[in-house]
């Protein structure tokens, strides 16, 4: 089946109507992908995550005409772009937002030149076969360029809304999306990548999204990046995020994994010049039979850079999560400060967590630490709440929620936290009362 999956995806990639100026990228990707093998559990990087279900699902050649029901983040004034089933929905998007970005398809020759210069530069050869597949199939994408010392007033909110319904007879489809963000010296911006499902339709929505995001943050520039994955519980999502940091650049990222039957996210951060800082947080909350896999890798290539990475996860029902956090300190990266923490809560004895915080260090004058814990809710904390008249169930929900709420509180944009809380609370609560209370109070 694995070979059939590759062949099928390759055919889909070859059937795109290509952009003439990107054909060399397409060809390179097709070449690499055609030689790829679908990784199995014997591959160290895929030890815990099986692609069997993905390879079993067949995907149609074209996506159905989309009815965009793209969610809005209430209270957040943002430039919003809606990409429905892989196509930009100009009606649902803000005109101002469309002005901000360059669509690959509409790029003028000089813009094409810039895009071609950046595309694949950050990713280099770091991605796995799905990044090759993305290369093989690009015929559109978004490019955000923030010029020197410019500051984007409002966040750029890109909603990838996929919608199909098995009950309506829609076939599952594949979407390859590409986002390129470049911040010039001293620029500042906020980008929200929002992968949404469609609540308004019934049935299985087993679409396959393969997203690649490349980000280059210039000298002294700062990017706040949200990557929120709230897709339907039957969807497949494979994401590659590649970030390059120049001198004194700053990256603040928040990665959420909530939906899908299978999510695999690779996040690669490169400290390239020195003085840069990476602040990366993440939350994954799989339930039922969901599988969520985060692989992060921070490359400290030079001296005087810092990284602070915190990921938290709560696994419920028969869910399975994998976290692999790698910090790689190259021989010249002296005076590095890097910390990684990964905490996990298992709520049932059918859920599973596999975590591997890795340190690979080749420089001596560094301070690195990582910590990982796996546990259940603390008995004493629960007892404390119960002794104050809170039922056991409610106490458990509150504690679970508190476990990740800390990271939500740290978000730069309060509106996003406010919007996410009820959705998370509902995961544990199922009781609207309590989720309302929780979100109201906190």
Partner 1 sequence: MATNAEIESQIKAREYKAGFVTNIESETLPPGLDEDVVRFISAKKGEPEWLTEWRLKAYREWLTMTEPDWAHIGYPKIDYQDISYYSAPKSMDDKPKSLDEVDPELLAVYDKLGIPLHEQMALAGVAVDAVFDSVSVATTFRDKLEEAGVIFMPISEAVHEYPELIKKYMGSVVPQRDNYFAALNSAVFSDGSFVYIPKGVRCPMELSTYFRINEAMTGQFERTLIVADEGSYVSYLEGCTAPMRDENQLHAAVVELVALDGAEIKYSTVQNWYPGDENGKGGIYNFVTKRAVAHTNAKVSWTQVETGSAVTWKYPSCVLKGDNSIGEFYSVALTNNYQQADTGTKMIHMGKNTKSTIISKGISAGKSQNAYRGLVRMGPMAEGARNFTQCDSLLLGDKCGAHTFPYIESKHPSAVVEHEATTSTVSDDQLFLCQQRGIDTEKAVSMIVNGFCKEVFKELPMEFAVEAGKLLEISLEGSVG
User: Interface with partner 1 by CB under 8 A: which residues?
Assistant: 44, 48, 331, 334, 344-376
Q: Report, in Å, the least distance between residue 409 CB and partner 1.
A: 24
CB of 244 to partner 1, least distance (A): 24
Judged by beta carbon, residue 112 or residue 341, the one nearer partner 1 is 341
Q: How far apart are CA 384 and CA 277, in angstroms?
A: 39
Which residues, 6+ apart, have CB-to-CB distance to 412 below 8 Å? 190, 224, 252
Rounded Cα–Cα distance for residues 428 and 178 (Å):
33
Written as six digits, the tokens of 155 are: 């966040």
CA distances to 213, 325, 351 from 268, in Å: 10, 10, 27
Q: How far is the CB of 363 from partner 1 (least distance, A)?
A: 6
If the CB atoms of residues 175 and 285 are measured against partner 1, the closer one turns out to be 285
Residue with Cβ nearer partner 1 (283 or 351): 351
User: What is the rounded CA–CA span in Å between residue 80 and residue 29?
Assistant: 30
Structure tokens at 333: 């990266």
Nearer to partner 1, 117 or 331 (CB): 331
CB-CB contact of 317 with 346 (8 Å): no
DSSP string, 352-384: EEEEEEEEEE--SS-EEEEEEEEE---HHHHHH
Whole-angstrom distance, CA of residue 36 vs CA of residue 45: 15
Shortest spacing between CB 395 and partner 1, in angstroms: 15
CB of 313 to partner 1, least distance (A): 11
Complex with partner 1: residue 126 or 370, whichever CB lies closer: 370
Closest to 348 in 3D by CA, of 288, 263, 283, 426? 288
Closest CA to 135 of 169, 180, 170: 180
Kindly tell me which of 360 and 432 has the beta carbon lying closer to partner 1.
360
Write down the least CB distance from residue 390 to partner 1, Å: 20
Q: Looking at beta carbons only, is 97 or 314 nearer to partner 1?
A: 314
Question: Nearest approach, Cβ of 45 to partner 1 (angstroms)?
Answer: 11
- Helical packing angle, 2-14 and 129-137, nearest 10°: 30
Q: Is 19 helix (H, G, I), strand (E, B) or coil?
A: coil
DSSP string, 308-331: EEEEEEEE-TT-EEEEEEEEEE-T
- Of 48 and 143, nearer to partner 1 (C-beta) is 48
Q: Give the contacts of 163 (CB within 8 A, at least 6 positions apart).
A: 64, 66, 67, 68, 69, 84, 85, 197, 198, 200, 201, 205
Min CB(360)–partner 1 separation in Å? 5
Q: Which is nearer to partner 1, 363 or 407 (CB)?
A: 363
Q: With contact defined as beta carbons under 8 Å apart, do 215 and 242 qualify?
A: yes
Residue 435: CB minimum distance to partner 1, A: 22
């Amino acid at each position: 089946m694995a070979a059939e999956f590759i062949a099928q995806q390759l055919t889909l990639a070859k059937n795109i109507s290509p952009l003439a100026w990107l054909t060399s990228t397409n060809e390179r990707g097709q070449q690499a992908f055609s030689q790829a093998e679908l990784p199995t559990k014997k591959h160290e990087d895929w030890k815990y995550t099986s692609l069997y279900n993905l390879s079993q699902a067949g995907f149609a050649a074209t996506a159905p005409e989309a009815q965009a029901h793209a969610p809005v983040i209430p209270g957040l004034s943002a430039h919003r772009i809606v990409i429905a089933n892989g196509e930009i929905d100009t009606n649902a998007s803000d005109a101002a937002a469309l002005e901000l970005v360059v669509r690959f398809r509409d790029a003028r020759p000089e813009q094409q030149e810039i895009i071609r210069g950046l595309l694949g530069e950050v990713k280099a050869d770091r991605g796995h076969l799905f990044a090759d597949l993305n290369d093989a199939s690009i015929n559109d994408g978004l490019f955000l360029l923030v010029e020197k010392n410019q500051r984007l007033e409002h966040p750029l909110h890109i909603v990838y809304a996929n919608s199909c319904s098995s009950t309506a007879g829609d076939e599952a489809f594949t979407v390859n999306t590409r986002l390129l963000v470049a911040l010039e010296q001293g620029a500042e911006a906020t980008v929200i990548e929002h992968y949404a499902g469609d609540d308004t339709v019934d049935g299985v929505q087993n679409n396959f999204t393969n997203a690649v995001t490349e980000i280059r943050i210039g000298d002294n520039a700062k990017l706040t990046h949200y990557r929120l994955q709230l897709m339907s519980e039957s969807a497949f999502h494979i994401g590659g995020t590649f970030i390059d940091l120049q001198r004194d650049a700053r990256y603040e990222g928040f990665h959420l994994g909530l939906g899908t039957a299978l999510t695999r996210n690779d996040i690669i951060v490169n400290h390239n010049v020195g003085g840069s800082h990476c602040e990366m947080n993440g939350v994954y909350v799989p339930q039922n039979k969901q599988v969520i896999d985060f692989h992060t890798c921070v490359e400290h290539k030079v001296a005087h850079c810092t990284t602070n990475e915190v990921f938290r996860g709560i696994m419920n029902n028969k869910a399975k999560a994998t976290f692999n956090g790698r910090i790689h300190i190259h021989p010249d990266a002296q005076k590095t400060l890097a910390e990684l923490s990964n905490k996990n809560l298992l709520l049932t004895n059918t859920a599973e967590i596999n975590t591997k915080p890795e340190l690979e260090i080749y420089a001596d004058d560094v301070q690195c630490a990582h910590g990982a814990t796996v546990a259940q809710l603390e008995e004493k904390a629960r007892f404390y709440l119960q002794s104050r008249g809170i039922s056991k169930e409610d106490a458990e929900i509150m504690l679970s929620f508190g476990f990740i709420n800390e990271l939500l509180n740290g978000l730069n944009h309060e509106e996003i936290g406010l919007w996410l809380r009820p959705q998370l609370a509902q995961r544990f609560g199922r009781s609207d009362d309590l989720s309302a209370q929780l979100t109201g109070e906190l």
